[in-house]
Structure 1
């Protein structure tokens, strides 16, 4: 079918606008991270809410006793600081960016009348969309909004690379990719890879926080503003638990597609080999995380290695090495 150039243009505009919105959101989050109060203050707020919820009244000297509380959210809710309001504005911008990002993805599919996963530009668009969406869920669940800049930075970099060096004009896919397995296999790969970026960032921040807890001199400016290490550990673990089965499913579907297309389930193609290495690393992380003796720093290091292998597979294997997956840059 012919490509709808108008929808393709709208998709490109939405993609570019979403990158700009993500950059603005990242700036707002950086302001909250740099000038906001976290850690002890957050613990005090939690304790205050628990006491008020239990009927114990406010704690003398706590933010709840302040006359400035009026009109800021009701009893038991401390007044929002300026940095907190800036952080909420950043969250609103991030949600707007996801909406524009999703619009770009959908319009690209409508313009080409296919699932928009046929080249590296579209694949990168899908991965980064999943990453930000997954982060918004974890951000709300664990109250780690002020860390969003650390996640948006690699997302913006990946989207910039995808929209410049990897950009491809909207067009039908090659005959080898005209299969329903494209939707199943590549979608699973994109979803799992996108989610894996979240535990990668969380594990890096965990290592920084752990180093600060052991020696406050290290990372003295960043460490106190990070959540407790166990919070970052839970974020990394639960996102990996979600992504790993999807990744496994994607590998199995890729093997079935390979047998149908190339006559063998596995051929140690560079893409297949590195994907298998990544699978082993993440399996080792989940095993180490479930084993008491390997929790904490050592498990986080394994997760960071998995993150590095995923990024290596995304760029080097797709763009530099030569293999059966090279014709599309995805798979």
Structure 2
């Protein structure tokens, strides 16, 4: 009981620190906006480069979309103030993620099993996976600009977990007492972590692309982000990792179903939606790899896949219409 209480205390502490990190990331973005004078100069350079491509080719060529004049790389220099604020926000995220991981581990020790046997535990474990994955990737890739779009969903999930999904630490139902719980579910929430980060990058890609096509009169932090093409490649890479992990989740779930229920497939709502998610992301991968398909359209498919992930976790679990064989676990 002491471990369970400590797990809850660490969870509340992580939420407090994540809130501070969210505010710090917002503070950081406020310092990233390029100056208007710099943006005009950079925009002029971009226009010149485009003209050289069109005139110097010697043959009619489809106009290349201009690269962003404010990309966080060539053409954009982050101010010292912005870097300092980003570092503070990132350090807070490290601390909050460590507290959340500690909460999940203590919950597992308290119940003597993998701590993802019900919706509350899955939600907190998935949030911890998102925080940990972002923390590992952010420093190396200088993703401080992404922080507020990751930390905010984590806070929302933790708030939902505590207010709606909370379950006291306890034993598992007999059917869940299998080593597959530690394998199947853990891979599932790691896949969800990559899908979540990819969805955030994908949404920023769509916004960034629109701003490149119709540059604003006054730049904001959006113009300090990496170019739309860079954001799209990043989202694709993250979705690819998530898709591979989700494929394993689907296969592992079928094997566990055979052991628990005597058949690989039972048309259970959870099974069906797991396959729906896999199908949508497979369509995205196919679209992304097909020559001539607009990457923007492919990204819409990926975002539809993430909406399916949200439906799978919320409606399928909470609405009585979807009652199935997974409901005894609260998942």
Kindly indicate whether residue 41 of structure 2 is the aligned counterpart of residue 40 of structure 1.
no
Aligned to 1:15: 11
How far apart are the structure 2 equivalents of 1:218 and 1:180? Answer: 58
* Matched-pair contact (CA < 8 Å) for 2:281–2:305: yes
Aligned to 1:197: 196
Instruction: Note the C-alpha offset of 1:251.
Output: 0.9
* Matched-pair contact (CA < 8 Å) for 1:212–1:220: no
Instruction: Note the C-alpha offset of 1:190.
Output: 1.4
Aligned to 2:298: 299
Q: Report SS of the residue matched to 1:43.
A: coil
* Matched-pair contact (CA < 8 Å) for 1:212–1:219: no
How far apart are the structure 1 equivalents of 2:140 and 2:280? Answer: 27
Q: Report SS of the residue matched to 1:95.
A: helix
Q: Report SS of the residue matched to 1:285.
A: helix
* 1:229-248 map, 5 Å: 229-248=228-247
Instruction: Note the C-alpha offset of 1:41.
Output: 7.5
Aligned to 1:56: none
Aligned to 1:322: 323
Q: Which runs of 5+ in 2 are unaligned?
A: 35-68
Q: Report SS of the residue matched to 2:328.
A: coil
How far apart are the structure 2 equivalents of 1:44 and 1:301? Answer: 28
How far apart are the structure 2 equivalents of 1:248 and 1:329? Answer: 23
Q: Which runs of 5+ in 1 are unaligned?
A: 47-62, 64-77
Aligned to 2:132: 133
> For the structure 1 residues 239 and 253, does the alpha-carbon distance in structure 2 shift closer, same or farther, using more than 3 Å as the test?
same
Which has the larger displacement, 314-323 or 209-218?
Answer: 209-218
> For the structure 1 residues 268 and 210, does the alpha-carbon distance in structure 2 shift closer, same or farther, using more than 3 Å as the test?
same
Instruction: Note the C-alpha offset of 1:208.
Output: 0.7
* 1:1-331 map, 5 Å: 5-37=1-33, 40=70, 42-43=72-73, 81-217=80-216, 221=220, 223-320=222-319, 321-330=322-331
How far apart are the structure 2 equivalents of 1:224 and 1:260? Answer: 53
How far apart are the structure 2 equivalents of 1:196 and 1:43? Answer: 25
